Structure 1
Amino acid sequence: MKQIIGVVSLCVACQVPAQELEEIVVKAHPLSDNGLSQAATVLRGDELSEQLKSSLGETVASLPGVRSASFGGAVGRPVIHGMGGARVKTTEDRIDTMDASVTSGDHAVTVEPFIADQVTVLKGASTLLYGSGAIGGVVDTHTGRVPTSVPEETVTGRAEVRATDNGDGRAGAVRLDGRATGSLAWHLDAFIKESGDYEIPGETESAILRAFEGEAHEAHAEDSTGLLEGSYFDAAGGSVGFSWVGERGMFGISVSKTDAEYGLLVAHAHEHGDEHDHDEDHDEDHDEDHDEDHDEDHDEDHDEDHDEDHDEDHDEDHDEDHDEDHDEDHDEEEGLGMIDLAQTRVDIEAQLNDPFAGIENINLRVGLNDYEHKEIEANGEVATVFDNQAWEARLQANHHAIAGFEGTLGLQLSDRDFSALGEEAFVPPVTSKTTGVFWVAERPLGAASLELGARLEQVEHTPDLGPVRDFDVASASLGFVIPQTEQFSWSVLFDYSERAPSIEELYSFGPHFATQSFEVGRDDLDVESGLSFTVSGNYESDLFDARATAYRTEFDNYIYQADTGDEDEGLPVRVYAQSDVRFVGLDLEVGFHLGAIAGGDLDLTGMFDTVEAELTGPIDGYLPRIPADRIGVGLVWHNDAVRASINYQDVDTQDKVAQAELPTAGYTDLSASLSYRFTVSGTDIVMFLNGRNLQDREQRHHTSFVKDIAPAPGRTIEAGLRFQF
């Protein structure tokens, strides 16, 4: 299929100098030769390797306008312009990852950045190409697991090993691509990564949470510094793929498998109970150790004088027994479980070139998915089983100019059978079907270009319990890309997007311990719609580069969780509600070439991003988990063999919070990297050393559901080797 080349300013986004700019294929979008009106960033090659983290969200979180909804070491879902969850679509080679990561903040995204060719981030509504679930953006990981061309070499490949001191982490990946004949291409890849619980510089619970809970919490708090319990992970996977490639087209298939185990950071209700349960257990232990006469006196005086009577009327042996019983109960209460995940995925791609007049090519992509994960308690019992049987298909035809517009006409189909069965299932089994047709195209307007697009989509949710809901949604966009000079261009984008409510928003009912809330869905929710206006500018020269994107989106019927002030099963009750909401934000990145120093080039980089999401309906306030303002500066020195960089970021305190949401303290981050490249017998080898959070500061991400009980890792040193042949 025709892939159009977008010029991406890697000198700024990835900290390489202006004279090394190269054209990057934005595989996630079919437009455009002259640049996209939509903001897009691509990570690839050495820059992708330098940014690699244990999850997809953490890998892209350093990009302006992008954060991660982290949940321990293994889980991190991307957040774009303050929107995450079901509003940001994660894809593998343009097909949904089809995991359960949108269902809960503790569910991992199964796409693996360690084996990626490149990762593309489309910022802003991408509903035209990817459906109503992409109203916030798309993160597409291009793996090439289905080969689309035959390599010139018999075998090419790359491999990488790395280790970190924090958590004793280890990771390795290998990828091989080759040709069996002149028309048959093949692909193999495998990866493994593991880490223990990572170290943190302060206490597990934030100072803000401790102050909020007060002295009662302090009296029962344990020493929780050192390690973040439940942040461990162990994952492995791989794939094999084959393709036949000829002049008229290609056909290929791949099979991939992913297995993972990782810890949960939040104890479940029946494990830690509530104050009433604790008192009952205490009374039972107390009664069992004392005679009947004492029990009668104790029952009469317990409410007023329990502590005094306990100290005065019981001997030392009883106190010791009581303490032992309490410690045993507490250990059982605080035990954390784990998730055992398995996914098998089949991907098929076929393309026919020049099938008939007016059509350049027709491309078909199909993904078939078998996903299951088990949530296992600390005692080894399986509490809940999540199952997702799904498939998705995309049929796209690239057409020649019609009334001056060249573009892509497409059909997208998906089917998802989702179930969560067990004592902690808060969403009933649901079958979801989606059908969408779309068209995106562009035409030149002198030196400028005009982009148009539209999509019509039908979504149907059929639960085992509850009413069937179906939605008809529509989206459209109008964009202009205007080059002013050889160095400067700018773009304007207007888009209208609609999103159908997700199954979690419609049908949730029950305790959701990952989010520490009792979630209540509403099956009468309406379609969410947004009208956006985005202006972007791009300047590139030998000495200075800058990119800026300013955006404003007015949402009608935006779906969010509203705190009711009530509690159920010891958790705050949060109901999915709708309101008008305004998003306003700015992404900025700059780069200065300072000159040649000590046999290499020295560059200064900077970035800034901000977003505010405010309720504009009948109720005033802010949306939850909106990231705080962030500013960063960095230096990069490099020559042909050595590359060294140092970066400093300051993340502001987030005090514009939703009702019942706690603020998050700001923090600073200092990171550095050093790499040395050399060649041995035709193999390109890179030795690298990365340091993160070198100041060992407590860092909490406001985008995380568990920010107040799970800080980010402390100081981390990582070393590794990368081979390419």
Structure 2
Amino acid sequence: MPSFRTYSFLFLSATSLALGQTIPSATEDHENIVKLDSYVVTAGAGDKTAFDLAQGTSILSGDELRRRTATTLGETLSDTPGVNSTYYGPGASRPIIRGLGGDRIRVLQDGVGALDASNISPDHNTAIEPLFADRIEVLRGPSTLLYGSSAVGGVVNVIDNRIPTHALGEPFTGAIETRAFGAGDERTTIASVAAGTDGFAVRVNGLSQRSGDVDIPGVARIDPAAPANQPVGTLPNSAIDTESLSVGAGWFGRAGHLGLAVSRYVTDYGVPVDEPISISMRQSRLDLNGELTQPFGIFTGLRGRFGLGDYTHSEISDHTTVNTTFKNRAWEGRTELPFAFSATTSGTIGVQASRSDFSAVGDEVVTPAYVNNNEALFALNEWKYTAFTFQLGGRVEHQNVQLGDVDPTLPPVPGFAAQSGEQKRFTGTSGSTGLVFYPAKDWSLGLSLAYTERLPTAQELFSNGPHGGTNAWEIGNSGLGLEKSTGVDLSLRKRAGFVTGSLSVFVNRFQNYIFEQELPLAAIPAADNPESLTPYQFTAKDADFRGAEADVTFHLAEGKDWHLHLNLMADTVRAEQTTDHQPLPRIPPLRYGTGLHYENARWTLGAEVRRAAEQDRVAPGETTTPGYTLLSANISYRLPLGRDECEFFLRGANLTDTEARVHTSFLKDFSPLPGRGITAGARLTF
């Protein structure tokens, strides 16, 4: 049974961490093998590492980030413990954390929301380019309330440093990377250059990426209605064409820093559904970022961030006809005042506000036009002692959603009663507490408890219409109220020695958990639904989520300039309705895997195996998803060029050409993961 395998793996991982205190390594002094945690920017109060946080945290940066970076943010993070993806073909994929996705995950770009429409529907990609990222921070669980009640599942913060915040150290620096081939015959070029003085710097990032329809093992569709003559070996309508450019400038000195950036993101990608649909997405964005580091009174500084976005995307059928155009003109700003009463007592207070002016015009206006205004006040306080750290936080958030015109010709649907100009106001109060205990040197035990009130979105309240991008007729429920959750998270970490890593277990109980439940086809009159799209209506029921994650590394050997380590990972989540224990839809299956990695001054070699078990705990209307095993490998060589360096790399994905379908995807029966792909590239750093 999957549960037995899960508990077995967690027991093995816990035992490995414990034995890491006594098992000697192949080196003379295994205590010198230290996994150094970098500071977590998203954590909020003060300089914190993942080792010092109560909630589960993962950081991707450096070589590991470059090795895992994919065309979408969801696939970049999909191998991270506790993180899955919505995989909607190669062009669209958003993170899912512990079985929670959509509006329950806050996706940030340098601490500010993405200002796009990716949380509205899984066929909408995030307007964030992961190939520009310097680091990606993933904070799991509901205690991330500094960033909104919608962060009940967690926060993903993509830090790309478009705005310079400190001196470069050199008058001119940068990197250029090119990569090619892979399952979609990819052609990608990325460049990032910066120039500056001791008090000023400018950074320019640019990207061009093109790929064709991806290779797949076998056929694309496996549903009963699949045509007999469908293509074999290729996923139709899965090509991608993306360009992105950003220019940022920053001024900095002893008192702090101030900067701004302008960026443009353009992408066209196919959605591999029954009828060929492609999405043409555009976003122009302005960001401001400032920090005062000089203390005044009890406050140790002042931080502020602001983002303004003009987003549009069109859904196009047969590559020629624009069916629907979505627009979202949005802004978000936040100001934080960190404070310190003493050496042991510190924290931060802040305000956050945002506005989204959303509209859709065309044949598939799933959600009427609306304006969403959101304001929040939050605070986090921390008491730090020798053996433990205690945290307490709270947030009050108000939301006002005002509808535009509602189409009077829409068919009547039970639960949908939206009126033109209607307003919905909600106020939610959330709180969290956390304890980090240090039982021994290089060990920490984190416990967090959070209560969250999530405010329903306009899509959950007011949707009513066909959506070809998801092959569904989506129906809102204007009677929805606050979604309330209580979550407990326990994490054990070890940061030095022969064995390092973390283990986490969590429980999250929801009252009025909002999800899309499949309805009978007859719920929509046949005359209004000639394409027989499956109706889904947002409904609210009590639900329980529980699960565990493990990420353990064995530092097998090391020398002066080389090391060899073995990694083990696993995650599992079980989600069901509280009353009848009926499984919730699109919940990730058990996953586990291992990887062996070697690195010296010139060479890096690695191989990984990931197993996703069969998902047979399915909701009504769902089908089971077979398990699969994926093998990947990578090799790179770094060539010194004086003070510069050129890295040549090869990366192989799905080397056994296995058919793999993602249970968390609406398109699992239409779109398998790509088949075997070998990517070659070079990166020049100067």
State if a TM-score over 0.5 links the two structures.
yes
What is the CA-CA distance between 1:597 and the residue it aligns to?
9.4
Q: How many residues align?
A: 633
Normalised by the length of structure 1, the TM-score is 0.85
Letter in 2 for 1:706: L
For 1:648, which of 605, 609, 612 is the aligned residue? 609
- Partner residue, 1:296: none
- What is the rounded CA distance, in whole Å, between the counterparts of 1:98 and 1:559 in structure 2? 22
Give deviations 1:612-651, integer Å, cap 9, x for gaps: 101013x541111111100101111222211111111111
Secondary structure, counterpart of 1:57 in structure 2: helix
Distance 1:247 1:593, change over 3 A: closer
- Partner residue, 1:715: 676
What is the CA-CA distance between 1:376 and the residue it aligns to?
1.4
- Partner residue, 1:574: 536
Give deviations 1:658-702, integer Å, cap 9, x for gaps: 110111111010111111112112112211111110000001111
Give deviations 1:514-551, integer Å, cap 9, x for gaps: 33221110111010011011110012333112310100
Letter in 2 for 1:367: G
Give deviations 1:544-580, integer Å, cap 9, x for gaps: 1231010001100000112222343212222111111
8 Å contact 2:145–2:152 — kept in the other structure? no
Q: Bigger shift: 93-102 or 445-454? A: 445-454
List aligned pairs for 1:325-364, cutoff 5 A: 334=275, 336-354=276-294, 356-364=296-304
What is the CA-CA distance between 1:150 and the residue it aligns to?
2.0
What is the CA-CA distance between 1:127 and the residue it aligns to?
4.7
Distance 1:20 1:46, change over 3 A: farther
List aligned pairs for 1:489-504, cutoff 5 A: 489-504=444-459
For 2:371, which of 431, 444, 450 is the aligned residue? 431
Matched, 1:552 2:507: yes
Q: Bigger shift: 355-364 or 386-395? A: 355-364
Matched, 1:399 2:367: no
List aligned pairs for 1:199-278, cutoff 5 A: 199-206=215-222, 209=223, 213=224, 217=225, 220-267=227-274
- Partner residue, 2:214: 198
- What is the rounded CA distance, in whole Å, between the counterparts of 1:376 and 1:651 in structure 2? 34
Give deviations 1:149-198, integer Å, cap 9, x for gaps: 1222111112211112322101111111221x432221111111110000
Letter in 2 for 1:182: D
- Partner residue, 1:30: 44
- Partner residue, 1:161: 178
- Partner residue, 2:412: none
Q: Which has the larger radius of gyration?
A: 1
What is the CA-CA distance between 1:356 and the residue it aligns to?
2.3
What is the CA-CA distance between 1:599 and the residue it aligns to?
9.2
- What is the rounded CA distance, in whole Å, between the counterparts of 1:533 and 1:252 in structure 2? 38
- What is the rounded CA distance, in whole Å, between the counterparts of 2:456 and 2:513 in structure 1? 10
Distance 1:415 1:126, change over 3 A: farther
For 1:622, which of 579, 583, 602 is the aligned residue? 583
- Partner residue, 2:411: none
For 2:163, which of 146, 156, 159 is the aligned residue? 146
Distance 1:485 1:597, change over 3 A: closer
Secondary structure, counterpart of 2:461 in structure 1: helix
What is the CA-CA distance between 1:80 and the residue it aligns to?
0.4
Letter in 1 for 2:499: F
Distance 1:689 1:566, change over 3 A: same
List aligned pairs for 1:234-633, cutoff 5 A: 234-267=241-274, 334=275, 336-354=276-294, 356-378=296-318, 380-401=320-341, 404-464=344-404, 465=406, 466=419, 467-567=422-522, 568=524, 569=529, 570-595=532-557, 600-617=562-579, 619-633=580-594
Distance 1:352 1:687, change over 3 A: same
Q: Bigger shift: 404-413 or 712-721? A: 404-413
- Partner residue, 1:693: 654
Secondary structure, counterpart of 1:622 in structure 2: coil
Give deviations 1:290-318, integer Å, cap 9, x for gaps: xxxxxxxxxxxxxxxxxxxxxxxxxxxxx
Letter in 2 for 1:197: D
What is the CA-CA distance between 1:63 and the residue it aligns to?
0.5
Secondary structure, counterpart of 1:71 in structure 2: coil
Secondary structure, counterpart of 1:114 in structure 2: helix
Distance 1:190 1:663, change over 3 A: same
For structure 2, list consecutive stretches of 5 or more residues without a partner in the other structure. Answer: 1-16, 18-29, 407-418
- What is the rounded CA distance, in whole Å, between the counterparts of 2:39 and 2:343 in structure 1? 26
Secondary structure, counterpart of 2:52 in structure 1: coil
What is the CA-CA distance between 1:22 and the residue it aligns to?
2.4
8 Å contact 1:653–1:666 — kept in the other structure? yes
Secondary structure, counterpart of 2:554 in structure 1: strand
Letter in 2 for 1:676: Y
Secondary structure, counterpart of 1:674 in structure 2: strand
For structure 1, list consecutive stretches of 5 or more residues without a partner in the other structure. Answer: 1-11, 268-333
- What is the rounded CA distance, in whole Å, between the counterparts of 1:395 and 1:52 in structure 2? 31
Distance 1:680 1:400, change over 3 A: same
Letter in 1 for 2:201: A
- What is the rounded CA distance, in whole Å, between the counterparts of 1:599 and 1:463 in structure 2? 61
Letter in 1 for 2:429: A
- What is the rounded CA distance, in whole Å, between the counterparts of 2:436 and 2:295 in structure 1? 31
Give deviations 1:459-503, integer Å, cap 9, x for gaps: 111111333111100111111111111132111111111100111
8 Å contact 2:584–2:618 — kept in the other structure? yes
8 Å contact 2:272–2:671 — kept in the other structure? yes
Secondary structure, counterpart of 1:612 in structure 2: strand
- What is the rounded CA distance, in whole Å, between the counterparts of 1:390 and 1:52 in structure 2? 27
8 Å contact 2:36–2:495 — kept in the other structure? no
8 Å contact 2:250–2:257 — kept in the other structure? yes
- Partner residue, 1:674: 635
Distance 1:670 1:623, change over 3 A: same
Distance 1:614 1:515, change over 3 A: same
8 Å contact 1:72–1:230 — kept in the other structure? no
Cα RMSD for the two superposed structures: 1.9
